[in-house]
A and B are shown apart, each in its own frame.
Chain A
Amino acid sequence: MGDNLISVNNVSVNFDYQENFISKKQKIHAVNNINIKIKKGSFFGLVGESGSGKTTLGRAILGANKISSGNVIFHDDERDYDLTNMNKQDLKEYRKKAQLIFQDPYAALSPRMTVRDIIAEPLEVMKITNSRQETDERVRDIAAKCRLNIEHLRRFPHAFSGGQRQRISIARALVSNPKFIVADESVAALDVSIQADILNLLKQLQTELNLTYLFISHDLSVVAHVCDVVAVMYLGHIVEMGPSRELFKNPKHSYTKALLSSIPSIDPENKSKAIELKGEIPSALNPPSGCVFRTRCPDPSDGCKQGEVEMGLVEVSPNHWVDQCCVNCN
Chain B
Amino acid sequence: MSHLLEVKNLDVKFDTDEGRITAVENISLSVDQGEVLGIVGESGSGKSVTAKSIMKLNPGNTSYNEDAEIILDNENVLQFTSKQDLKKIRGGKVSMIFQEPMASFAPAIKIGAQMVEQLLIHKNINKDEAKSISINMLKRVGIADAEKRFNQYAFELSGGMRQRAMIAMALSTMPKLLLADEPTTALDVTIQAQVINLIKDIIKEYQMGVIFITHDLGVIAQVADHVAVMYLGSVVEKGPVNEILKNPQHPYTKGLLQALPDINNLDAPLSPIPGNIPSPLDRPTGCVFRTRCPHHNPEGKDGKIEMKLIEVEPGHWVDQCGIQCGQNG
Question: Are A and B genuine complex partners?
Answer: yes
Closest Cβ neighbor of A255 among chain B residues = B190
> Is A262 in contact with B272, judged by CB distance below 8 angstroms?
no
Across the interface, which residues of A come within 8 angstroms of B277, CB to CB?
A: 161
Most interface-central of A221, A260, A262, A266 (chain B CB within 10 A):
A266
Given contacts A193-B42, A264-B221, A269-B242, whether A161 and B259 have CB atoms under 8 Å apart is no
Across the interface, which residues of A come within 8 angstroms of B189, CB to CB?
A: 49, 218, 220, 259, 262-263
Interface residues of B (CB under 8 A from A): 42-43, 158-161, 188-194, 196-197, 215-219, 221-222, 241-242, 245-246, 255-257, 259-263, 266, 270-273, 276-277
Interface size on A, residues (CB 8 A): 42
- Knowing that A193-B273, A194-B272, A265-B221 touch, tell me 16 more A-B residue pairs with CB under 8 angstroms: A161-B276, A164-B276, A191-B42, A191-B215, A193-B272, A196-B271, A197-B272, A200-B270, A218-B188, A221-B263, A245-B266, A264-B216, A264-B218, A265-B218, A266-B245, A268-B242
Given contacts A192-B260, A221-B262, A276-B193, whether A266 and B43 have CB atoms under 8 Å apart is no
> Is A195 in contact with B276, judged by CB distance below 8 angstroms?
no
Q: List 28 A-B contacts (CB under 8 A).
A: A164-B276, A191-B43, A192-B259, A193-B272, A194-B276, A197-B272, A199-B261, A199-B270, A218-B188, A220-B263, A224-B263, A224-B266, A225-B266, A248-B263, A258-B190, A262-B193, A263-B189, A263-B218, A263-B263, A264-B193, A265-B221, A266-B245, A266-B262, A267-B246, A268-B246, A269-B242, A271-B222, A280-B158
Determine the distance from Cα of A103 to Cα of B262 in the docked complex, in whole angstroms. Answer: 22
Determine the distance from Cα of A245 to Cα of B194 in the docked complex, in whole angstroms. Answer: 27
Determine the distance from Cα of A220 to Cα of B218 in the docked complex, in whole angstroms. Answer: 13
Task: Return A67 CB to nearest CB of chain B, in Å.
Answer: 26
Given contacts A191-B42, A263-B218, A280-B160, whether A224 and B276 have CB atoms under 8 Å apart is no
Task: Return B133 CB to nearest CB of chain A, in Å.
Answer: 25
Closest Cβ neighbor of A159 among chain B residues = B279
> Is A265 in contact with B222, judged by CB distance below 8 angstroms?
yes
Query: Is there a chain B Cβ closer than 8 Å to A122's Cβ?
Result: no
Given contacts A271-B222, A280-B161, whether A195 and B263 have CB atoms under 8 Å apart is no
Across the interface, which residues of B come within 8 angstroms of A196, CB to CB?
A: 259-261, 270-272
Query: Is there a chain B Cβ closer than 8 Å to A128's Cβ?
Result: no
Q: Which 5 A-B pairs have the closest CB atoms?
A: A264-B218, A197-B272, A196-B270, A274-B193, A193-B273
Across the interface, which residues of A come within 8 angstroms of B193, CB to CB?
A: 261-262, 264, 274, 276
